[in-house]
Structure 1
């Protein structure tokens, strides 16, 4: 574990023994990596929004029947439980790619990222847990008097990584990298908790033979991934060609077991080895690891195709004109989801962060303010992709509750995004002035002094 002075940046006059969580600056390598992810997710977020808008317009146009016919078109092989509609293929299959990257990103953060230190990671992890529990409680309280709605308690627990990170990338060009790392970690842990909830609470029946086979294949996948150079002499660019068929088999067996198939994506992501470059030789630092190779190949596929296609097939809801919109707005389900996402998310995140920093005698860096966390909490209220997935599992397709839940998710996500944009745009202006001042401190090597006071460059 790195010593405290490699985790935080103390001011010359600071003689307090109180530790600081969540410093303004992480390592320079981590800041660069976060910036690269944010740039990629900006395009993915835009595609996500466009796909959802196209679906809504098409589903409410004179040719709406063609949209629903396309969504319900079945393809696949029935004996293997793979005769699915295109909408189900998107939810069960394409989202597995998204969750594969979730698992991979989470592992990278804790193995080789700035969050490998427990003292640094505990705040966003605890905040993610608070951002799951509080919205669920708010939703349950608001719908408690309406029978049949309690099953949707997990709808507002998830954060849409692509959407939230895209908004942050567009409006937050000068926000501290620590805020960005915090949001990304928060969203990844948040979605991991959501997918765990799906596995536990939204699985009606489990066929243990396919499940055991799926776990065995995932173990084989991990073994091959760990030993791909020694056993097969493969370079990273070729290893994925070997691992992809094994992963597909694991996904199919997980789907046949009755557990949502996206769980396989997360577990497969966890098995990929991550290079820890701290203290490594120059040869190790120079080469691309399997985790980097997979992220390079699958992130564009996820952000540019898988998630937008899922949004296209999930966001299409027949609103029924203004009367239908008014009915949806007045529905208790809408109030529960909207309040949980827009109010519950920031409340849970900020309150949990305050509790952790209070009872562990730690504090935020003086350069940050709690209003920054409120902005991140509002971004976390953008519960699009995984919330739509949970809505699909909570209510029967075609039911009034099913369509109302989708309308509520879309509306609440837009409200959360607008409020976060307003707040963080103001904060971005403040940090732009700070960044201009700090730029004068940059060394000849191009690395600002503030980063050289932080943890070592781990690549």
Structure 2
């Protein structure tokens, strides 16, 4: 039996779909970056008081334990939309995408696990000398796909579609692992009755979408009730978004080209990338350097150093190391034309963490606390360093990517499908 190829070319429909997703995420990454820069500038300006006052404005019914600040609504409410879209994407990848093949799924799943375990271990090693800091061990474990793809757009690289697919799947898988970590390790008090009650609207939502009901006036209230009950249970409310996404069927019964999951994703991805995540970034990234004791003190703090080390060193070591282990203990080999520098570049891009890392920092240390401020600075600095290193590595490979892309995009029969996919569909 011939050896399988790591990062081999997927099917043409999957490559085309991934390209569409990446274009949408790139725009979201630009909005995310703009929101973060605006928050940082405002929080460190003479008008910083107005920024913090805006973050603490309360809204919502207090009788339902939903009298939350705007910053809390962004973290608990808007990010539920983000995780709903991530859940849809993950389910589609494993049910109808190329990753329904366990051999293809093994690599990004292993890389995601390694890309979370190694940063956590590095964080723990650095933070062990600071009492109470270990609670933030999960901060550098997540990859922000919007930011990572924004970096790719700046590089203007001809990255092969197989590597792009790997990066997207890696980020989605570690988002799911991150939400599992949040649910298990960052739930301080669990109330079983609201949690059990939440299963009722989730089940009703699932029944309706299984019956192909698309009426927003039925589905949105059920989703809101499920979110509220999960929030009341003590588990972070974003878990509701993932649970709801998993109830949406992927395949269409009538043979239509777009199943319910794809339709839901098409409708909600612009809201997630264009509104939910940038608004969360605006409220989460606004850390005052002066409150952290100045830039020198902030950059030398143990929490800051632990987060930076986890993102910059841990991610690339975990992702690259896991990929090497898959090759070492299986018959798999890198696809023709690719090298370990490609894998290293992707590993560095995996260190571009933001959305989920900021969320875990708030849950670990408490929003607005001194250590949360250090964690935010660590996330921002670590993501910036990882992005710059990734740009160096991938630009060095840019000429090779361009040559490889030109070979794959030859379409001599003008049928809209690159000939390479027709010759070798797998």
State whether TM-score is above 0.5: yes
How far apart are 1:361 and its partner, in Å?
A: 1.8
SS of equivalent to 2:215:
helix
For the structure 1 residues 378 and 75, does the alpha-carbon distance in structure 2 shift closer, same or farther, using more than 3 Å as the test? same
CA–CA distance in structure 2, aligned partners of residues 118 and 319 of structure 1:
47
Kept in 2, the 8 Å contact 1:55–1:316? The answer is yes
Does 2:22 correspond to 1:52?
A: no
How far apart are 1:186 and its partner, in Å?
A: 0.3
How far apart are 1:144 and its partner, in Å?
A: 0.7
For the structure 1 residues 29 and 169, does the alpha-carbon distance in structure 2 shift closer, same or farther, using more than 3 Å as the test? farther
**2:10 aligned to 26, 35, 44, which one?**
26
CA–CA distance in structure 1, aligned partners of residues 380 and 61 of structure 2:
33
Kept in 1, the 8 Å contact 2:315–2:347? The answer is yes
CA–CA distance in structure 1, aligned partners of residues 412 and 363 of structure 2:
51
For the structure 1 residues 438 and 386, does the alpha-carbon distance in structure 2 shift closer, same or farther, using more than 3 Å as the test? closer
How far apart are 1:220 and its partner, in Å?
A: 1.6
How far apart are 1:75 and its partner, in Å?
A: 0.7
CA–CA distance in structure 2, aligned partners of residues 348 and 429 of structure 1:
27
**2:316 aligned to 320, 323, 346, which one?**
346
Match of 2:255? 284
- In the alignment of these two chains, the number of paired residues is 426
Kept in 1, the 8 Å contact 2:40–2:288? The answer is yes
CA–CA distance in structure 2, aligned partners of residues 184 and 241 of structure 1:
32
Match of 2:227? 251
Moved over 3 A (4+): 238-241, 437-442, 453-456
Match of 2:114? 130
Unaligned runs of 5+ in 2: none
Unaligned runs of 5+ in 1: 1-15, 229-233
Match of 1:429? 399
How far apart are 1:321 and its partner, in Å?
A: 8.2
Task: Describe the superposition over 1:129-155 as per-residue Cα deviations: whole angstroms up to 9, x where unpaired.
Answer: 000000000000111111010100000
Task: Describe the superposition over 1:29-57 as per-residue Cα deviations: whole angstroms up to 9, x where unpaired.
Answer: 11111111111111110110110111111
CA–CA distance in structure 1, aligned partners of residues 188 and 373 of structure 2:
22
For the structure 1 residues 422 and 213, does the alpha-carbon distance in structure 2 shift closer, same or farther, using more than 3 Å as the test? same
Match of 1:271? 247
Match of 2:374? 404
Kept in 2, the 8 Å contact 1:42–1:170? The answer is no
Kept in 2, the 8 Å contact 1:350–1:374? The answer is yes
Does 2:56 correspond to 1:72?
A: yes
Task: Describe the superposition over 1:338-359 as per-residue Cα deviations: whole angstroms up to 9, x where unpaired.
Answer: 0110010010011111111211
How far apart are 1:311 and its partner, in Å?
A: 0.2
Aligned-residue RMSD, C-alpha = 1.7
Match of 2:87? 103
How far apart are 1:82 and its partner, in Å?
A: 0.5
How far apart are 1:454 and its partner, in Å?
A: 4.2
CA–CA distance in structure 2, aligned partners of residues 406 and 442 of structure 1:
51
Match of 1:12? none
How far apart are 1:173 and its partner, in Å?
A: 4.4
CA–CA distance in structure 2, aligned partners of residues 91 and 97 of structure 1:
10
Kept in 1, the 8 Å contact 2:157–2:395? The answer is no
